[in-house]
Structure 1
Amino acid sequence: MDPDRNFEDIFSELYENSDISKIDEIQSRIESYFSELELPNYPTVYDHLVLSLRDNDVIATFNWIHCYCKHGSGM
């Protein structure tokens, strides 16, 4: 499996190829993972950040690891 491909591309290919056994396994693992997650009973730093946004504010993220892997140390 190509590590440069994202999850959506890989899953779409499995779906297009009707690889039902792999699709079922992936969906089962995803459901298991998310069913074990618990939300804290208190606001997190991210909650405070979102609640403090004004109309013209934005939250931007960047995947540094993906960028480094794609472009190497020549950044």
Structure 2
Amino acid sequence: KSPYLDNLPVLSITAQKLSDYRLRVAPHAHQLGTAEVAIMVLALANEVDASTKLEQHFIKFRDAYLLGKRNKGRPE
């Protein structure tokens, strides 16, 4: 579907846990968000610090987004 990606390598990732994305529902339980895949790829590349920091930022972003979504339309 995206010919400009044809020359890039493909990684097969086997997740050790299900997605915790929660911003949108995936059609299948095994599907992960892009940030979750990046976290796993960094960990597989032994970039543990980068993986951990990305996961921490992802969790903060996800939680803030969900909080804002719940409070949308409520008076301050």
TM surpasses 0.5: no
TM-score under structure 2 length normalisation: 0.36
Larger Rg: 1
